[in-house]
């Protein structure tokens, strides 16, 4: 039996006090668009990281990427699996108050649609199945991240939460020489940098 999306969000809700944080509680798991979405949120919490999220099975499957994504296929970026987030989280930018889970500033760094790019061994594998197997191949149509990416559950150091996020070398959608997180630090929602967002708190 597959768990319904509202159960998938239990950990997310247990960690948060929605009277205090401006983050969405995720009441509806309805998605109106026929295309699946992805989002990357730069998160200046205790330590800076980029939260990479893919819409799979009605929720946002999530990973925290300490160095942020890279458009260079030679870079293998550690991506630590975190709790599922509600689809509404894809619109969130703002500040999580001091003392709350994930306290700090969240900047909407990239957003767009994506598709499954991973027919393996001549067989189609659904996104949900690929996620469970720990081997996702996706094609991103973002404003900054574009083209093929792999997410591999490497379990580095014996930790099952450890995945790797790697740009595919089979397309030229991104300039491998551009350090995309530093070259394009601005929000795709507000155009602000993380410092400018902090100043408006
Ligand atoms: Mn985070």
Q: How far is the CA of 148 from the centre of ligand 1 (A)?
A: 23
Domain hosting residue 86, numbered range: 35-200
Q: For residue 104, what are its two tokens?
A: 């700090």
Pairing of strands 59-65, 77-85: antiparallel
The helix (H) or strand (E) run that includes residue 135 is strand 135-141
Comparing CA positions, the residue from 143, 63, 184, 50 lying closest to residue 105 is 50
Q: How far is the CA of 63 from the centre of ligand 1 (A)?
A: 8
Number of residues assigned to the chain: 201
At a CB cut-off of 8 Å and minimum separation 6, what does 40 contact?
50, 51, 52, 53, 68, 69, 109, 110, 111, 142, 144, 145
The per-residue pLDDT for 26 is 85
Three-state SS for 66? coil
* Domain membership flag for residue 180: yes
Q: How far is the CA of 60 from the centre of ligand 1 (A)?
A: 13
Q: How far is the CA of 26 from the centre of ligand 1 (A)?
A: 17
Rounded CA gap, 50 and 32, in Å?
26
Q: How far is the CA of 44 from the centre of ligand 1 (A)?
A: 8
Which residues of the chain, if any, have pLDDT below 50?
1-3
* Domain membership flag for residue 43: yes
Q: How far is the CA of 50 from the centre of ligand 1 (A)?
A: 7
The per-residue pLDDT for 96 is 94
Q: How far is the CA of 118 from the centre of ligand 1 (A)?
A: 27
* Domain membership flag for residue 6: no
Q: How far is the CA of 123 from the centre of ligand 1 (A)?
A: 34
Comparing CA positions, the residue from 86, 96, 5 lying closest to residue 43 is 96
Domain count, the chain: 1
Over the stretch 108-151, which tens digit does the pLDDT of each residue have? 999 999 999 987 666 788 999 999 999 999 999 999 999 999 99
What's the N-to-C CA distance of the chain in angstroms? 44
* Domain membership flag for residue 149: yes
Q: How far is the CA of 15 from the centre of ligand 1 (A)?
A: 12
* Domain membership flag for residue 2: no
* Domain membership flag for residue 113: yes
Running DSSP on this structure, what letter comes out for residue 2?
P
Rounded CA gap, 151 and 98, in Å?
32
- 135 strand-pairing partners: 152
* Domain membership flag for residue 20: no
pTM, two decimal places: 0.90
Pairing of strands 104-116, 48-56: unpaired
The per-residue pLDDT for 58 is 92
The per-residue pLDDT for 1 is 44
Rounded CA gap, 199 and 201, in Å?
6
Query: What distances in angstroms separate CA 14 from CA 8, 25, 131, 179, one per listed residue?
Result: 11, 10, 23, 36
The per-residue pLDDT for 105 is 97
The per-residue pLDDT for 156 is 94
The per-residue pLDDT for 119 is 72
Q: How far is the CA of 43 from the centre of ligand 1 (A)?
A: 5
Q: How far is the CA of 143 from the centre of ligand 1 (A)?
A: 20
* Domain membership flag for residue 120: yes
Q: How far is the CA of 124 from the centre of ligand 1 (A)?
A: 32
């Amino acid at each position: 039996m597959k768990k319904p999306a509202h159960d998938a969000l239990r950990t997310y809700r247990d960690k948060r006090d929605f009277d205090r944080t401006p983050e969405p509680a995720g009441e509806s798991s309805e998605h109106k668009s026929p295309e699946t979405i992805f989002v990357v949120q730069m998160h200046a919490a205790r330590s800076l990281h980029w939260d990479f999220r893919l819409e799979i099975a009605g929720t946002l499957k999530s990973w925290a990427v300490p160095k942020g994504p890279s458009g260079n296929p030679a870079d293998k970026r550690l991506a630590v699996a975190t709790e599922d987030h509600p689809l509404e989280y894809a619109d969130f930018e703002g500040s999580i108050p001091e003392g709350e889970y994930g306290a700090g500033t969240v900047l909407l760094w990239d957003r767009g649609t994506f598709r499954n790019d991973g027919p393996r061994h001549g067989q189609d594998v659904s996104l949900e199945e690929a996620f469970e197997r720990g081997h996702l191949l996706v094609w991103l149509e973002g404003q900054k991240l574009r083209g093929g990416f792999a997410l591999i559950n490497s379990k580095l150091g014996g930790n099952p939460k450890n995945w790797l996020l790697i740009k595919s070398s089979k397309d030229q959608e991104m300039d491998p020489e551009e350090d995309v997180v530093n070259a394009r630090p601005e929000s795709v929602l507000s155009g602000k940098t993380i410092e400018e967002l902090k100043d408006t708190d």
